[in-house]
Chains A and B, each alone.
Chain A
Amino acid sequence: MSTAPDPSNIPPADEVAERPHPLTPLAKSWLGLVVLIGVASQQFGQLRSINLDVAQYIWVILGVIIVALLLGLAVGWLQWRFTRFVVSDEQLRIEHNFISKRSERIAFTKIQSVDVQQAFIPRLMGLAAVHIDVGSGNRPPKIEYLSRKRAYEMRDYLMHRASGASVTMAESSAVEVGDIFHDRSATDRSVIAIPAGRLVASLIATWGTVILLVMCTVGIILVVVTRSFGVLGVVASAVLPSAAGVIQYIVARVRNEWNFNLLVTSTGSLRTSAGLTSLVSQTIPRNRVQAISITQPILWRAFGWYRVRLDMVGMHVEGNQLKADVLLPVGTAEEVPKVIGALWPGFDLSAVPHNPSPSRARRIRWFDGHRLWWGSNADVLVAHHGWLHPTTSIVPHARVQSVRLRQGVVQRMLGLASVQAHTTPGPVDVVARHLQADIARNLAITELDLMRTARRHGPSWLGLGTDAHPRAAVTVPTEPEPGTPSMPWEPVNPPPSHTDADEQGRG
């Protein structure tokens, strides 16, 4: 048993084991240097308490940096020296032989998604890391670093193979790939690109900014009225940390969502790429998306912007890397159907009926009672709620895990009840709130039948099936369909009853 060598360790004669890019140790040690400078700057005060003059002090700092740099380089070089990978027409294998030996062979069909990550320094050096998601394991396979072009090509090749297509490495490499700013191969089709101005404006139009402005105004008035330095100090100590927090939030969001692009690849899967300093490309396997939500914070209403987020299987699994859950950071009313159409081609939100909650729901929900609605058709369950962040949540019946009917004390007095459709962990929460009690019960019971039917013969756009990557023909409408009614996720105001709507339709 122990004498038989593992067949996966015997390379076929013709295959070539590659090493990561030779600049890898440098890129990694630069990362190390950045960390070091961060740590050193925190220790700054302690160092200064040792009585050194300025020249000695600079030498000490320089010495530490050089030693750390050399150490980092040495470790990085060893890791690079002992890491090999094989990507061929037959297999994908990664071998780490540094200290302990580890050989991972990854079946193409098990690959769920492949992400390309370019942190700032490697990005400047033209390098990129390839992260492979096989849907399990707390140490997802990755290759650090490859040249950008090679990383893009490898990703495209692996995603092709994962979808079951039989392409060769050579065919895949023939396609022109993206550059330092855009991860877009020649065969990819762009769905959405978010203009930088809109992103920044949308982040400024948030509650943090409003509260900050109010604080500033109140503070200035107080200072002007009292003309006291004490008050100025109090105001400054209240406003400055908040301002720092708001700016930090905006900067972080800008860094992550800058240059956001949504693409449909030639295999039909979705890919996002975004980032200001670093550039991160994530593949979104369409069949793993469980539910989506469309939100319009009321501060965005004047601009007509929406945000689309999603629940994906494995997105928040412990030990797994947290994946971005944004499908559209900030988009116009025309872009929302485009994005959803790219995810679920053929799904039509406007075809879902709007059933407003009864008006007595306003006694519980003071602010959004008049705009609560829910809808269900053969394919999806939709629920809308919210005042500051009006949100429409959509879950295909085939993706609902379980259902709960719930009635609190006040609801019982009003004859109302809520129905929650449980989805996998993520930002989307589908709750039809405050329905008339018997309708709620009916909805919950009917939902179970719909779930069962949909799992067997779900809508074609959902890409159900045993295949991990549906190869259903993907058609992405580039323009909104003519004659589409005004945005279906808009709250119904005033809520029309069914007969009213019918009569208006005839009239």
Chain B
Amino acid sequence: MSADLFCPPTETWISLSPRYLTQRRLGAAIGWGLLAAVAAVPLWIIGAPTIICLVVTAVGVAVIIWRLIRQPVIFRAWGFAERDTDLYIRSGVWIQRMTVVPYGRMQAVEVEAGPLQRIFKVASVKLVTASAQSDAVIPGLDPGDAARLRDRLTERGETQAAGL
């Protein structure tokens, strides 16, 4: 049922760049790794009972592995589809979301790439509407694709523009 619920309106979902999956994996490993280190390292240093140290370390490693396993699922949950008048964005595993933004409502389209994103040659495309709730972002596109998507969106936004 849930597969039906978030299926794209007509075409299939376009997924993100595979490099974004690598970036997410690295990000998860670093992020959770640091957290695990913060929890475990002081215990080893102050000389807490070995069993506690081992348990905490094991839990940390388990969480890291679990997050790494989950990344492809999260990655596959992302997708977008361009239709004649609206852009569809899907995301989320536990909480699934499908956001639809009419081209006419877009006030700006931003392409952004942070330092980590540039290393992995990905960029995100953000759609700005008059509503702060829209929160429509497509992360992890190939920079060329992102630029082309931005140009297409901007063009459609101009031809279909609607006032507030």
Residues facing A in B121-158 (CB within 8 A) are 129-134, 136
A9 to B101, CA, bound (A): 45
| Measured CA separation A425–B130 after assembly (Å) | 8
Q: A422-B134, A425-B131 are in contact. Are A402 and B95 (CB under 8 A)?
A: no
**Closest CB in chain A relative to B97 CB, distance in Å:** 5
In this complex, the member of A399, A407, A424 whose beta carbon has the largest number of chain B beta carbons within 10 angstroms is A407
Do residues A455 and B162 form an inter-chain contact, with CB atoms below 8 A?
yes
Please give me the 6 A-B residue pairs with the lowest Cβ-Cβ distance, nearest first. Answer: A401-B131, A422-B131, A422-B133, A402-B101, A401-B129, A405-B98
Q: What total of A-B pairs shows CB separation below 8 Å?
A: 90
Chain B residues within 8 Å of A, Cβ to Cβ: 1-2, 4-6, 9, 85-86, 94-102, 104-105, 129-134, 136, 162-164
B102 touches A402 (CB 8 A): yes
**Inter-chain contact A404/B98, CB cutoff 8 Å:** yes
With a cutoff of 8 Å between Cβ atoms, the chain A residues found around residue B101 in the complex are: 401-402
- The main secondary structure of chain A at its interface with chain B is mixed
Chain A nearest CB: distance from B101 CB in Å? 4
Residue A420 CB within 8 A of the other chain: yes
Instruction: Answer yes or no: A54 CB below 8 A from chain B CBs.
Output: no
A288 to B164, CA, bound (A): 8
Find chain B residues with CB under 8 A from A444 CB: 98, 100
What residues on A are CB-neighbors of B94 within 8 Å?
408-409
A91–chain B nearest beta-carbon distance, Å? 26
19 A-B pairs whose Cβ atoms sit less than 8 Å apart in the complex:
A399-B164, A401-B101, A401-B130, A402-B100, A405-B5, A405-B97, A406-B98, A407-B5, A407-B96, A408-B94, A408-B95, A412-B1, A422-B129, A424-B164, A437-B2, A445-B9, A448-B86, A451-B102, A452-B85
- Contacting residues, chain A, for B131 (C-beta < 8 A): 401-402, 422-425
- Which residues from chain B contact A288 at a C-beta distance below 8 Å? 164
Chain A residues with Cβ below 8 Å from B132 are 425
| A417:B5 contact, CB within 8 angstroms | yes
Within 8 A of B (CB), among A179-217: none
Interchain CB contact (< 8 A) of A407 among B2, B102, B104: B2
Residue from the set A404, A424, A455 with the largest chain B CB neighbour count within 10 Å: A404
Chain A nearest CB: distance from B137 CB in Å? 12
Closest to A316 in B: B132
CB distance from B58 to the nearest CB of A (A): 27
C-alpha gap A399/B129 in the complex (Å): 12
Residues of A near any B CB (own CB < 8 A): 288, 290, 313, 399, 401-409, 412, 415, 417, 420, 422-425, 429, 437-438, 440-441, 444-445, 448, 451-452, 455, 464, 466
- Judging by beta carbons under 8 Å apart, are B102 and A404 in contact? no
Q: How far is the CA of A448 from the CA of B88 in the complex (A)?
A: 11
Question: Which B residues are CB-close (under 8 A) to A424?
Answer: 130-131, 164
**Which residue on chain B has the smallest CB distance to residue A447?**
B100
Inter-chain contacts of B1 with A (CB < 8 A) = 412, 415, 437
B133 touches A423 (CB 8 A): yes
Alpha-carbon separation in the docked complex, A129 to B101 (Å): 41
Provide the residues of chain B in CB contact with A412, threshold 8 Å: 1-2, 96
Closest partner residue, chain A, to B162 (CB atom):
A455
In the complex, the chain B residue whose C-beta lies closest to that of A288 is B164
Provide the residues of chain B in CB contact with A404, threshold 8 Å: 97-100, 133
Complex Cα distance A444/B131, Å? 17
Most buried by A among B5, B85, B86, B129: B5
Q: Across the two chains, which residue of chain B brings its CB closest to A412?
A: B2
Known: A401-B133, A402-B133, A424-B164. 11 other contacts (CB 8 A): A313-B164, A402-B131, A404-B133, A406-B95, A407-B2, A407-B96, A408-B94, A409-B94, A424-B131, A438-B5, A448-B102
Determine if B134 and A401 form an interchain contact, defined as CB atoms under 8 angstroms apart. yes
Instruction: Give Cα distance in the complex from A325 to B30, angstroms.
Output: 45
Instruction: Tell me the bound Cα distance from A94 to B144 in angstroms.
Output: 49
Q: Which residues of B contact A455 (CB under 8 A)?
A: 104, 162
Q: Give CA–CA (A456, B46) in the complex, Å.
A: 70
Task: Tell me how far the C-beta of A453 lies from the nearest C-beta in chain B, rounded to whole angstroms.
Answer: 11
Chain A residues, Cβ within 8 Å of B162: 455
If A402-B101, A452-B102, A455-B162 touch, whether A420 touches B133 (CB-CB below 8 Å) is: yes
The chain A residue with its CB closest to the CB of B9 is A445
* Contacts known (A423-B131, A445-B9, A455-B162); A402 close to B105, Cβ less than 8 A: yes
Give the distance in Å from the alpha carbon of A90 to the alpha carbon of B1 in the complex.
Answer: 65
Find A441's partner among B5, B102, B105 (CB 8 Å cutoff). Answer: B5
One of B85, B96, B164 near A290 (C-beta < 8 A): B164
List residues of chain A with CB within 8 A of the CB of B102.
402, 448, 451-452
Establish whether residues A406 and B133, one from each chain, have CB atoms under 8 Å apart when the complex forms. Answer: no
Q: Which of A313, A415, A451 has the most CB of B within 10 A?
A: A451
Assembly CA distance A403 to B127 (angstroms): 13
B95 x A409 contact (CB < 8 A): yes
Docked Cα-Cα span, A5 to B71, in Å, equals 64
Q: Is the CB of A401 within 8 A of B86?
A: no
Q: Which residues of B contact A452 (CB under 8 A)?
A: 85, 102, 104
- Whether the pair B133, A437 counts as a contact (CB closer than 8 A) is no
CB-CB < 8 A to A429: which residues of B?
Answer: 133
Distance of A438 Cα from B3 Cα, bound (Å): 11
